Each structure stands twice: as C-alpha cells, then as structure tokens.
Amino acid sequence: MSTIFTGELIVSEVRPNISLGLLFGHMSFSAEVDATLAAQMVETSSGASVWSESADATREVGNVSLFGGKYFVFDAEDPEKAYGKLVDALVEETTVDFRVTWRRE
C-alpha cells in the first residue's frame, strides 16, 4: 500500500494581551498566536483516508513588563523561532501514533 501525508496548518493573527496590576503599579503587554495542524494519511491508489489527527496550541511570541513606572523587562522571541517551536510541538502531538510509547497501568 502506497500512502502520502497531507495536512493544513492554520495560524491566527498576532493577538495582543494587556495586564494591569494597579496595586503594585505593574503593567504587562504580550502577544500570542493560535495554531491548528490537521494531518491525514491517504492511500494513493484509492484516495481513501487511512489515518487522521489534529492538534492545536497557543504560543506567546513577546512580552514587555513595567514595574512601578521605573523598571521594565523586555522578552521577545525571534518570531521565526517561536513559530518553529509551535509547529514542532504540533507535529509532535499530531504524530504520536507513529512513535513507540508505553503506559504503566
């Protein structure tokens, strides 16, 4: 039996998040994206789907925090690295059926 893998990756627009902590003068700004990976194995001779799986995840791609108007922390991942890690995690989760695993019961 000859098969091929097909799939679709959908990534949302960057979504900003703002958090205010008035008690200690803390403000935080971050950006997240959502992604979904749907994959299937298709038999080439008939076009029948033999296997399918999907996974979704959310990942933060940057963050800025301000404390008391004096101190700030800036943390931003390289978008290419952030998206690469996101896709790697989705592929890992989606293809678990093809790896050897064990479970103690």
Strand ranges, E, within the chain? 3-11, 15-21, 26-43, 49-67, 71-76
The Cα angle at residue 74 between residues 70 and 78, in degrees rounded to 5: 170
- Measure the CA–CA gap between 5 and 69, rounded to whole angstroms: 52
In this predicted structure, what is the pLDDT of residue 51?
Answer: 97
The model's pTM is: 0.72
Per-domain boundaries in the chain: 3-98
- Structure tokens of 73? 């922390």
In this predicted structure, what is the pLDDT of residue 33?
Answer: 86
In this predicted structure, what is the pLDDT of residue 5?
Answer: 94
Q: For 96, which DSSP code? A: G
User: Could you tell me how many residues make up the chain?
Assistant: 105
Instruction: From residue 48, give the alpha-carbon distance in Å to each of 5, 18, 39, 40, 90.
Output: 12, 46, 14, 10, 24
Q: Tens of pLDDT along the chain (105 residues)?
A: 899 999 999 999 888 777 777 666 667 777 888 999 999 999 999 999 999 999 999 988 777 666 665 655 555 566 677 778 889 999 999 999 998 888 898
Structure confidence by residue, pLDDT tens digits, 68-88: 656 555 555 666 777 788 899
In this predicted structure, what is the pLDDT of residue 54?
Answer: 97
Given CA atoms 84, 37, 96, 98 in this order, what sign does their dihedral have?
A: negative
